[in-house]
């Protein structure tokens, strides 16, 4: 079993925590750089990432939830993307209150091309990991994602300290 009091292990935890912070800080800068390069805002890039990752088109509310924006701001966000030609609005036939936001592939080609280019280099990082290591990394990311989700819930439920 894992001994939590093991000093070597504690050191590994600390290193991993530090690298995580650096990694996340680098991601923020990276996302900003991608947005600047495309003449968009980081939020817009984030939204396009969400839309392309999902198989089905999202509603405005779903976009709002997944970006942390209000529905009002999400409307403006979709306005910008629509004006830029990145997405189209389609009314939902099932629920006529809803609006489906569909990405426009040909307009997104340049964006995805950039992602693919950057992602290709990124994949070379993985080449000298064993399959077990890759599984371990993936598992950690998934569980960290899930935890982050529940932590957000907790934070929103906690009373504001002021």
Partner DNA sequence: CCAAACTCACTGCGCGACGCAGTAACTTGC
Partner DNA sequence: GCAAGTTACTGCGTCGCGCAGTGAGTTTGG
70 sits near its own copies (criterion: CB under 8 A): no
23 sits near its own copies (criterion: CB under 8 A): yes
The first and second tokens of residue 132, run together, are 């077990």
Stretch that binds its own copies, among 73-81, 86-94, 96-104, 153-161 (CB under 8 A): 153-161
Burial 95-112 (b: 16+ CB within 10 A, else e): eeeebbbebeeeebeebe
95 sits near its own copies (criterion: CB under 8 A): no
| DSSP of 27-63 | HHHHHHHHHHHHT--HHHHHHHHHHHHSSSPEEHHHH
Is residue 77 within 8 Å of 63, Cβ to Cβ? yes
Stretch that binds its own copies, among 56-64, 85-93, 94-102, 127-135 (CB under 8 A): 127-135
Residue located via tokens 């990752």: 53
Q: Which does 102 bind (CB under 5 to 8 A by kind): DNA, its own copies, none?
A: none
Among 6, 79, 133, 146, binds DNA (CB under 7 A): 79
Closest by CA to 48, choosing from 66, 30, 33, 22, is: 66
Q: What are phi and psi of 89, to 5 degrees?
A: -95, 135
Among 5, 56, 97, 121, binds its own copies (CB under 8 A): 121
Q: Find the shortest distance in angstroms from Cβ 94 to its own copies.
A: 26
76 sits near DNA (criterion: CB under 7 A): yes
Chain contacts with DNA (rule: CB under 7 A): 41, 43, 59-61, 64, 68-73, 75-80, 89, 95-99
């Amino acid at each position: 079993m894992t001994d939590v009091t093991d000093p070597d292990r504690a050191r590994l935890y600390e290193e991993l925590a530090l690298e995580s912070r650096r990694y996340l800080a680098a991601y923020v800068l990276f996302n900003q750089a991608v947005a600047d390069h495309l003449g968009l805002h980081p939020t817009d890039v984030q939204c396009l990432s969400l839309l392309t990752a999902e198989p089905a088109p999202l509603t405005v509310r779903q976009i709002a939830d997944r970006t942390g924006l209000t529905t009002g701001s999400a409307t403006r966000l979709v306005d910008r993307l629509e004006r830029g030609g990145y997405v189209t609005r389609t009314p939902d036939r099932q629920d006529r209150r809803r609006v489906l936001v569909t990405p426009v592939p040909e307009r997104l080609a340049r964006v995805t091309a950039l992602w693919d280019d950057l992602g290709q280099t990124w994949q070379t990082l993985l080449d000298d990991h064993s399959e077990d290591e890759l599984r371990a990394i993936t598992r950690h990311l998934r569980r960290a994602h899930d935890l982050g989700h529940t932590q957000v819930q907790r934070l929103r439920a906690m009373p504001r300290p002021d």
